Structures are given as structure tokens and as C-alpha cells.
Amino acid sequence: MERPRILIVGGGFAGLECARRLERKLAPSEAEISLVTPFSYQLYLPLLPHVAAGVLTPQSVAISLRRTLRRTHIVPGGAIGIDPRSKVAVVRKITDEVVAEKYDYLVLAPGSVTRTFDIPGLPDYARGMKTLAEATYIRDHVIAQLDLASASMDENERASRLQFVVVGGGYAGTETAACLQRLTTAAVKRYPRLDPDLIKWHLIDIAPKLMPELGDKLGQTAMEILRNRGVDVSLGVSVAEVGAETVKFTDGRTLPCRTLIWTAGVAASPLIGTLDAETVRGRLAVTAEMRVPQFEGVFALGDAAAVPDLAKGDGAVCPPTAQHSARQGKRLADNLVAALRNQPLQPYFHKDLGLVVDLGGKDAVSKPLGVELHGMPAQLVARGYHVMAMRTNSAKYRTSANWLLNATAGDDFVRTGFLARQPARLRDFEYTDAYLSRDQVREHAQALLAKG
């Protein structure tokens, strides 16, 4: 008898945890497990700002899937469409070959992409902080601005190269601004022709508070830390227009600036749009067991799914965080095992264990289990949590060693030339224009199935 095929789309926190648990709980004879992902690693997203600042090497946050998974078949590509009627995922491999991956059970965990708005110039001049390539590019770009400003005699050019804007007052934006500001403060000491006072970092957000999830006290503490470092924090403000050398804010200010880092939230992967299914603010509507009600054998979780938050109730859905994604992956694996063994499925229920925000150096704010911390105690909690959350010993050791090296030997300011001559548009790094329409999905699925 042919084994049931479980196809997992996405190798992030949700997809990886689901695959790991399935391997432990299912015998090889019970199911065939496949994972569709364009990269051979799980990206540890919370530490991308440390990669951008050069505190961690890119390899430190790239958790090897082949070290983590033992018998899951990895398909090197990205799903560009789903045809649930034929039970087929249309996959574009990294060679651009398009293939059909059949399934009996489908786990949709494609994650999210950077959320953007209809702001003039934003698609062409904004940089994201969602992928490893983006973080590495931003580090090169920021150091290049210092190099070029130091070599220029034009005061206007210097001014535009030494102003940096980060949009988004959530965790990603706050940590990005904090870590990169520390980088430029340390780096400018190596540029005798540059006045440190000319370097200015701006953190802006349309919300009235910085990281409101932390509470008023810790959010205010984080803002004071940033402002004491010289970061200009503007709340209730957004971007009105972006140019090659200027950024205009909604409060009327126009800054000379060639670096806009956009971290203003996330949106579900465009893959979700290829299904004719109900959504909640762009995320797939699922039951508490993470089933997609319209389609047999289809489940969704993580950033791409609106999983009911039973701990909060009142129709709330789980926020798109790594903590929820990883735990949903485990629960969904248990439900798949139950489905295969004709047992009842269980709902996802999880109370948030707390929040950690690493602002670089000795600065951090954390709220583990509701306890408010700042300074070194918060930093120890934050970094301890990140190390424990990593799934391979090599990643734990490499990350810890990088932190120790940075704390004792200081920063390096090396520009590697990564994609130096390529555009840095969001769609290029996050492949948001790679997906098929619903009609195209059906056509491709039928054609590929006909080929056998």
C-alpha cells in the first residue's frame, strides 16, 4: 500500500517544527514527508539585525535543515501555486524548472513578506529586513555610505549619505535602528574626515507608542535608550514619498537621505492568494485545529494563517511571531499524526511566554513571564532565549562565539561587495512577483499531471 504523502510548504519556524515532530512521532512506513523550501536552512529571523550590524555572521542565523531533519525529502524550490482540487502544489525549483508535487495532506507554512503601501518611490528605494540577503546587503550599503561620504567634497552628498531612516517601531525596526546605530558610531572613529555629529539615525512609526506590546514602562525605557544614543524617534509619523536622495515624511519634513529601511509590518505570503479560500486580513482563515475548512487535507499555520488565539478569546487571532509559529508547528504535527491514525484533532492553545528586545551591547528590554527587565539582566534573558530556540548545536555555539568575539574584540567594518551592482528592491529579495494566478495554477497543475 502506498504511503500517504505529507507536503510541507515553507522551512521557517512553523514548517521546520512540524517536520521535526512528524519524524519523531511517525514511523517511516506511516507517511512520506516532503518539505518545499528555496533554501537549505531555517532563517532565525529575530537575529537579522545582528547580521546587518556585523555582530553575527550570516551562517550563524542559517539553521541547517539537513542537520535538523533526518528523513524528510527536501524539494529545493518555492511553491508558486496550490490546486487543492487536484491535490497538487506547483513548485518552481531553484533551477526555474516547474514541477507538480502531489500530496494527501498539505501543510501551508509559507510565512510572510514585507508589508508595503502605495507610497511613491517606496518599491524602488526601500530596503527590507526580512531575508538573509537583505540583512547582508544593508550592512554593505551602510558601510558604503560612510566610505562614499568620506571620499566626497560635496556637503549635500555627505548629508544625504549620512542620514538613515528606519520605518517601523516594532521589534524588527527598533532592533535594526539600535544595532546599526551602534555600528556607525563605532565605525566613524575610523573615518578621520567624517564628523560623527553628521551621522543621524531616524526611527519613525505611525503608531503613538514604541513597541506597545512591551507595555508603557518598558516601551518608554527602550525609547529613552535610543534617544540617549542620538537616535531621533518620531511617533505618529510615516513616509509620504521616497526619492533616490530624499525622504519626505507625513509631517512635512524632507530629509536628505539615501537609506530607507522598511520594517512596517508583514503580510501573508502571496501564495495564499492562489487559493480560493476565506482570509482574515490576508491570512488564511483556519479552525483552532489549523484546518482550512474549504479543502480536505489542507492545514495552514504561522504568519500565513489566522489561527484563533484561544488564550485571548473574543475572536482574536495569534500574532505573526516566531514563538507562536514554532508551537503551532508542533501542535499541527500532532494533529496530522492523529488524522493518520483516525484520532480526534486538538486545538492550538498557547499563552505568550514573554518578549525580548535586544538593543545591542549591554542594552535590552525584556518581559519574560510578565517580569519587566532592562539592562544586562534583560540582555542575558534575550540572548539566552535566542540560543535555546536554535535547533542545532553548531548554530548555538557559532552564535555564542560571535557575541563573545564582538564583545571582546569589537566591530569590523568590512564591505564585502555583496550585490553591489544590483538593485535592492523588495520584490527582488522577497520574490513577491513569482506567483501564479488561480487560473494559471489550475492550467499548470493539469499540464504537469498530464506529463506524469
- In this predicted model, what pLDDT tens digit does every residue of 189-225 receive, in sequence order? 999 999 999 999 999 999 999 998 888 899 999 999 9
Of the pLDDT bands very low, low, confident and very high (cuts 50, 70, 90), residue 370 is confident
In this structure, are residues 154 and 245 in contact, taking their beta carbons and an 8 Å threshold?
Answer: no
The whole-angstrom distance between residue 416's C-alpha and the CA centroid of its chain comes to 23
Lowest average pLDDT, out of 172-181, 222-231, 258-267, 433-442, goes to: 433-442
What pTM was estimated for this model as a whole? 0.94
Q: 237: pLDDT confidence band, cut at 50, 70 and 90? A: very high
φ and ψ at 240, to 5 degrees?
-95, -35
What's phi and psi for 268, nearest 5 deg? -60, 150
Q: In CATH, which of 1.20.120.550, 3.40.50.800, 3.50.50.60, 3.40.50.300 is domain 5-114+267-352+429-451?
A: 3.50.50.60
The grid cell for 134 is 537583505
**DSSP H/E element including 256:** strand 254-256
Q: Write down the pLDDT at residue 450.
A: 83
Out of 31-45, 329-343, 346-360, 422-436, least confident range: 422-436
CA atoms within 13 A on the CB side of 289: 15
- 3-state helix vs strand vs coil in the chain, percent to 5: 40, 25, 35
**Per-residue pLDDT, 14:** 98
Tell me the three state secondary structure of residue 292.
coil
Question: How far apart are the C-alpha atoms of 248 and 202, rounded to whole Å?
Answer: 12
- Tell me, what's the pLDDT at 322? 92
Residue in 144, 187, 172 with CA at minimum distance from that of residue 49? 172
Q: How many residues does the chain have?
A: 452
Q: Answer whether 108's CB lies under 8 Å from 336's CB.
A: no
137 has pLDDT over 80: yes
The pLDDT of residue 452 is 67
> In the block, which residue shows the cell 527582488?
428
The residue type found at 177 is A
The amino acid occupying position 372 is E
pLDDT of 421 above 70? no
CA atoms of 323 and 302, how far apart (whole Å):
9
Amino acid (1-letter code) at residue 47: L
Lowest mean pLDDT among 142-151, 237-246, 300-309, 438-447: 438-447
Q: What angle do CA 240, 270, 286 make, to 5 degrees?
A: 115
- Where do you find CATH 3.50.50.100 in the chain? 116-264
pLDDT at res. 422:
66
98-102: strand order across its sheet: 98-102, 88-93, 73-83, 32-37, 5-9, 105-108, 298-300
Residue ranges of the chain that CATH labels 3.50.50.60: 5-114+267-352+429-451
Selected from 3.40.50.300, 2.40.110.10, 3.30.450.20, 3.50.50.100, the CATH number assigned to the domain covering 116-264 reads 3.50.50.100
For the chain, helix (H) and strand (E) counts, in that order, are 13, 25
Q: How far apart are CA 137 and CA 431, in angstroms?
A: 16
Q: Where residue 423 falls among pLDDT bands split at 50, 70, 90?
A: low
**Rounded distance between C-alpha atoms, residue 93 and residue 238, angstroms:** 38
Maximum Cα interatomic distance, the chain, rounded to a whole number of Å: 75
Instruction: Provide the percentage of residues in the chain whose pLDDT is more than 90.
Output: 84
Residue 359 to residues 50, 171, 172, 186, Cα–Cα distance (Å) = 10, 10, 11, 15
Query: What mean pLDDT value characterizes the chain?
Result: 94
pLDDT in tens, 243-283: 999 999 999 999 999 999 999 989 999 999 999 899 999 99
Rg (CA), the chain: 23
327 CB-near residues (< 8 Å, 6+ apart): 17, 348, 350
CA distance linking residue 290 with residue 335, whole number of Å: 9
Q: What is the rounded end-to-end Cα distance, in angstroms, of the chain? A: 20
User: How many Å apart are CA 41 and CA 12, to the nearest integer?
Assistant: 8
